[in-house]
Structure 1
């Protein structure tokens, strides 16, 4: 059984999956107080599906970039579960890679202050490293990658389909010390 958690960009996204079949999902938009609801919603979600935490084998999550608190919430849940039960396998991916999915895309997230988190992806591969750029640089990248779709701020992303298509691109994290969220400070 696999559990995907994303709280990085003002959404709470939970996906329960087994043998490449989606069992259930929950997507709550515009969650300003995600830290207040994540554990409660996760508990209700697992209870609704009659799944005990011990039945989960693999934990999938985004590691950011995104809102500082949002990134911390999912990572904290994942780390806590791993400490409680070391048998869990942990798989992480950047929010930009998750948002791009398997598309030929310029993936951007608003970093506030006229800045963007930015990455360019093609066929599930990062061809321009995730980075923080000034908003005005985006036009140059749009010209350079004119055949690439612009995907921004988790808008119009089919989270279930993206998860299924790129699940193999999440990175296995073997040691809890290697679970490192991507915050804005990592881009500066």
Structure 2
């Protein structure tokens, strides 16, 4: 079984190929607002390096957000077209969960602009605090001293801390949610589309 994993919801373009529960090829590139131009060349390169053809892909995993209004849609659109035309399964994974990297007692925050961030808590992939969008001040009050901060830590005056997202796809396999109707797969934005236009 060959699985293609894709995430374009934040500043990274992440692609991974998994074969029989083994990560065989991966690509994680920071290319914020350039994912649409980059994803197809990277995908072709990844398949060539793995010595597989696109037709060999038997299932797809894609992040559903939250994240960039346009970014979330890039990987999701490719997943929907690929799964619908090839009639193969699609699985969904929350972006914040992917960024948790299956770490213990971690907080994940990603920039939502306007002094706000997407935020959630996880413990080895299990949701401790449901994803939401909060002000930076609110988030500072949520975090406990023994919790690791992952993602855009610079929003809190700390270092950014990103896990290996390709590896994270594999380690979080128990949390992949099967999409029963590919045509009904929609992004999880957590805020209205108008708010995405605020710089």
TM-score past 0.5 threshold: yes
The number of residue pairs the alignment matches comes to: 185
> What is the TM-score of this pair, normalised by structure 1?
0.90
Larger mean CA deviation between 89-98 and 34-43 belongs to: 34-43
Query: Retained in 2: the 8 A contact 1:35–1:69?
Result: no
Match status 1:161 vs 2:161: no
Write the deviation string for residues 75-110 of structure 1: whole angstroms up to 9, x where unpaired: 000011012111x11111111011112221111101
Gaps of 5+ in 1: none
- Scaled by the length of structure 2, the TM-score of the pair is 0.85
Q: Distance in 2 between matches of 1:129 and 1:186?
A: 18
Deviation of 1:159 after TM superposition, in Å, equals: 2.1
Listed as ranges, the matches of 1:1-188 within 5 Å are 1-86=2-87, 88-103=88-103, 104-142=105-143, 145-153=144-152, 155-185=161-191
Distance across 2 between alignment mates of 1:148 and 1:38 = 33
What CA RMSD, in Å, does the superposition of the two structures yield over aligned residues? 1.9
Partner Cα separation in structure 1 for residue 182 and residue 18 of structure 2: 23
Shift of 1:186: 5.8
